[in-house]
Structure 1
């Protein structure tokens, strides 16, 4: 949600943002509804004031024995008019709120304009591995080493599910433990959020209409399975005023993630790259507005360091206006090299959402008790999505004899050097 005052004062800037994002949105209707709701607020306030004044007059008339019936009849008419106006006002507010919740965030000036072809490579790290044998993908490697059960998972749960087996289970847990240790050393607070949240919380985190094909809804309950721990983390301080002196508040959130992957049929359908459930450690930061861009750069730098320690070649890409999510003002993707696919693939998304989510959830802060409150900035970044990262490890560190070398930094967690 954007500051409506900013929209009223800078409508042409908002129109340009919508054009740059290639998003269809009825800005004129939003401005019209905003004007109407403000007029109705004034009208209902005036009627309430008039009703209160008449109530006082009626009370005084009764005390003095004066004729009160005409006043009572007039107040009844005012009450009826007020009730009708309040009903229309409620409908207007509902229509306004629904529309206001779907407008995308503003864009940072550094975001390139265009579709995914306009994405900008920022930097690259590592050397692409060279092999003197035929390179296998993670599916073939896993089948040869009995690390995955895909067909039995499909029988049990359907497509895009899996059983991790043997050392792949240990590798998964090793990535999680290393990730938590890594962020703990960076001063992050550990968190394991709820895996289900209610509609109000989910609407605060995402544009729900856009996510209906992505997230799972629990039938007959006001609960959704989280698609990422960001959804639960941002909602944690809903309707609260935080102490500005405690900011930035940095969290390392670990959770499973559940996604329908609707519309992704035929793409990465086999294996564990694109699946309905996976584990992820998320960086989530609540920041003062003046610090949020530094926090954004710090978060992507931390993620880069993590993958460098895993010895996985990667590059950082700045997403274009037409390729990024609507709630983000700026997003970096980190793409890692996957030898079995002979390509870089996205494994990390790092976004600054400014005050877009905090306005939806009413999360504010102040430095001193007598100061006005301000909306907080929220930022999120994957540290590691373990299934996708394991794909990169299996494919990049495979050996000629069909085994897989374990990254040095994970060997102490695995208790071995090779799978």
Structure 2
């Protein structure tokens, strides 16, 4: 949630952010009203408690003749205090609801507009040209024995799949490469829970406007995460972190689940937009002053990873109306999909400033030892299913084989090519050893 001081002192900044998002400006006024009502409820309860304390002292000092009236006054005040405290609890709840309804304030540098208004910052790599009819990843994957969506649908329904043979090996290879790179960059590897409590989901901003995207296990009041960001953020809820040595970074692996509500008819073929996939997610806790620099670092690590996969891509600055609830700024990396003749999102990274940490009670101590709200950032290092789809398409060859980027070969038996009917045993030579 955003800092209430900012809302009180600069409400026009928050209103402007709401306009940029295409969101309801009246939510800012509702938050201000709820804040004022809550402060008035606190003042009234405090005043009545002070009167009640004075009345209690008066009872002790009252003469026999005065005592009945003083006792009656004390009894009346006790009832008023009880009612005032109940009003304060209601005001607290109303303030929290109004506070949760307002998304993070958009950074001034963010482009205006909606989904189609993202600004391309740079394009890297050369879009490949093919002298044969381009096939999509599903056709390639089926020929390789790597992807089976028909049996995935038979077992689990639409938008589920099996990765088999070389497809399964590609999953493991990408996960290994991503984690290895993250550890080398100073991240602590984490295998994160895929089920979380409502507090973690709400704290990271994935309920409310995004609730329709989330799978809920009602019997146990748990949620299936759409990203390990949720678990990684919640891991330090209510804690004071030591950030004196710099940002605390985690690389989390988890299965991710998304209902894809409202996406019917989009990417129904293959494994680009599915209900379940595995992902390696970077997550950072840092001071607010370090957040912008850390955001640039996360983006750089994502670009380095895609360069190792030999994929052409572009970096886009996401427009205000397409930002998630928690993000003040977000970059997407879109890789080239030959079958679509278009760049499609492969990774993203968001600066959430203090928004999530304030909800989750995550703090650090400043130079004076005073607790302050931390900043949180996240970045997808590898969304595995979609990355496999992109790899198969970009690196396809006319004979049905697929080039294996050099960085992945150590985890694919040293093979330079994936071919239909290939043996999955290690290839001969030094790489296999």
TM-score (norm 2): 0.93
Classify the secondary structure of the residue corresponding to 1:322. Answer: helix
Tell me, in whole angstroms, the C-alpha distance in 2 between the residues paired with 1:207 and 1:222: 15
What's the counterpart of residue 406 of structure 1?
404
Give 1:9's aligned residue: 9
* Distance in 2 between residues matched to 1:73 and 1:278, nearest whole Å: 67
Aligned pair 1:274/2:259, yes or no? Answer: no
CA contact (8 A) 1:150 1:161 kept: yes
Deviations 1:115-149 (A, max 9, x none): 23321111111111111111100011112122122
Local SS of the residue matching 2:270: coil
**Kept in 2: contact 1:51–1:79 (CA 8 A):** yes
Contact kept, 8 Å, 2:125 with 2:313, in 1: the verdict is yes
Worse-superposed segment, 165-174 or 321-330? 321-330
2:186 partner SS? coil
Given that residues 101 and 207 in structure 1 are in contact (C-alpha distance below 8 angstroms), is that contact kept between their aligned partners in structure 2?
A: no
Report the counterpart of residue 290 of structure 2 in structure 1: 291
Match of 2:385 among 376, 383, 387: 387
Q: Tell me if the contact between 2:145 and 2:167 (Cα under 8 Å) persists in the aligned partners.
A: no
Q: Is the 8 A contact 1:102 1:207 kept in 2?
A: no
CA distance in structure 1 between the partners assigned to 2:369 and 2:183 by the alignment:
33
**Unaligned ranges ≥5, structure 2:** 419-433
Q: CA-to-partner distance for each residue in 1:42-66, whole Å, 9 max, x for gaps?
A: 11011112212222332445xx877
* Aligned equivalent of 1:184: 183
Give per-residue Cα distances to partners, 1:83-116, cap 9 Å, x unaligned. 2222222222212211211201111121111123
CA shift for structure 1 position 371: 2.7
* Pairwise CA RMSD: 1.4
CA distance in 1, matches of 2:196, 2:67: 54
**Gapped regions of structure 1 (runs ≥ 5):** none
Q: Which residue of 1 aligns with 2:123?
A: 124
d(CA) in 2 for partners of 1:346, 1:90: 44
Q: Quick one: distance in 2 between partners of 1:80 and 1:367? A: 43
Q: Is the 8 A contact 1:243 1:367 kept in 2?
A: no
What secondary structure does 1:293 align onto? helix
Whole-angstrom CA distance in 2 between matches of 1:295 and 1:9 = 28
5 and 246 in structure 1: CA distance in 2 versus 1, 3 angstrom threshold: same
Residue 166 (structure 1) aligns with:
165
The 1:55/1:387 distance shift into structure 2, 3 A limit, reads same
Q: Is the 8 A contact 1:406 1:418 kept in 2?
A: yes
Q: Distance in 1 between matches of 2:363 and 2:410?
A: 43
- How many correspondences in the alignment? 416
Instruction: Name the residue aligned to 2:109.
Output: 110
> Quick check: 16-25 or 275-284, which moved more?
16-25
Alpha-carbon separation, structure 2, partners of 1:273 and 1:377: 31
Structure-1 separation of matches of 2:374 and 2:98: 22
Query: Does the 8 A contact of 1:340 with 1:396 survive in 2?
Result: no
Larger deviation: 372-381 or 19-28?
19-28
1:216 and 2:215 correspond: yes
Q: Is the 8 A contact 1:25 1:103 kept in 2?
A: no
Change over 3 Å in CA distance of 1:388–1:207 after alignment to 2: closer
| Partner SS, residue 213 of structure 1 | helix
The 5-angstrom pairing of residues 299-314 of structure 1 reads 299-314=298-313
1:335 matched to 2:344: no
- Residue of structure 1 in register with 2:29 after alignment: 28
Whether the aligned pair in 1 keeps the contact of 2:330 and 2:351 (CA below 8 Å) is yes
Kindly indicate whether the alpha-carbon contact (under 8 Å) linking 2:364 and 2:373 is maintained by their aligned counterparts in 1: yes
**1:25: Cα distance to partner?**
4.3
Paired residue secondary structure (1:266) = coil
Matched, 1:250 2:249: yes
Structure 2: distance between partners of 1:349 and 1:92: 38
- Normalising by structure 1, report the TM-score: 0.96
For 1:348 and 1:269, locate their aligned partners in 2 and report how far apart those are by CA, in whole Å: 20
**Alignment partner, residue 46 of structure 1:** 47
C-alpha distance in structure 1 between counterparts of 2:31 and 2:244, whole Å: 36
- 1:377 aligns with 375
Tell me the residue number matched to 1:361.
360
Structure 2 CA distance for aligned equivalents of residues 23 and 59 of structure 1? 58
2:424 matched residue in structure 1:
none
